[in-house]
Amino acid sequence: MEIITKSGFIALLDAASEIMTKNRQRLCEFDGEMGDGDLGLTMSKAFPAAAAEAASSDIDDLGKLMMRCGMKMNAAAPSTMGTLMASGFISAGKVCAGKAELNAGDFAAFLTAFADGVAKRGKASPGDRTVLDALHPAAEAALAAASAGKSLPDTALAAYEGAKAGLEATRNMRPKFGKAAVFADKSQGRIDQGAFVGVLMLEAMYDCICRDSGGV
């Protein structure tokens, strides 16, 4: 996949839905250690709802479609993480408005706006041990790759690698929000479950983009 069209965007959502469903139990177990234990259930509802909305929509403007998907995601999974991810899509939709296809630079802009939307909605910053600690480095890595003239697959790979590095860094971060903050001492040495969601999303997008480009 050298550019992301509407069908490509639907494929990305389908891939994200599949990976969230596949990891549902794992996410619930991670979340059970530091949170409510329902993260896997939430994400396996949120992404399929967004994917179904995109597949059934007659909207070709990718920005508008992202916003519609974000609203559908929020309705299907009105939990903390569901709302954060929905906010990411809505924020990204504003930046991608008017576009029928996305190149490497547009994909980097999508991820940057997605991370910004999550940060604004959650009132979080990098280093707070949240999903943002995977999304922010992913967006930065994608922007650097796209600015260097890298292809969409290479930009997606950079984003995925950035997200994984961000996830590993959460092992040494102290949580500040929700139940995780109550059990902050237990978090040391463990990856953050929210950041793991971010990595899964970037992994799915990378795999999908590269698979359709003859890669992975």
Per the structure, the complete domain to which residue 194 belongs is given by 6-211
Coil, strand or helix at 130: coil
Q: Is residue 216 part of a domain?
A: no
Quick one: which of 167, 197, 165 has its CA closest to 77?
A: 197
d(CA 204, CA 149): 23
Q: Is residue 201 part of a domain?
A: yes
Query: Would you state the pLDDT for residue 216?
Result: 47
Coil, strand or helix at 6: helix
User: Could you tell me which residue, 32 or 150, shows the higher pLDDT?
Assistant: 150
If one counts the domains in the chain, the total is: 1
Q: Is residue 122 part of a domain?
A: yes
- CATH number of the domain where residue 154 is located: 1.25.40.340
Q: Is residue 146 part of a domain?
A: yes
Bridge partners, 102 (sequence order) = 4
Residue 24, both tokens: 């549902």
Q: Is residue 1 part of a domain?
A: no
d(CA 177, CA 172): 16
| pLDDT per position as a tens digit, 67-100 | 999 999 999 998 899 999 999 999 999 999 999 9
Query: Would you state the pLDDT for residue 36?
Result: 74
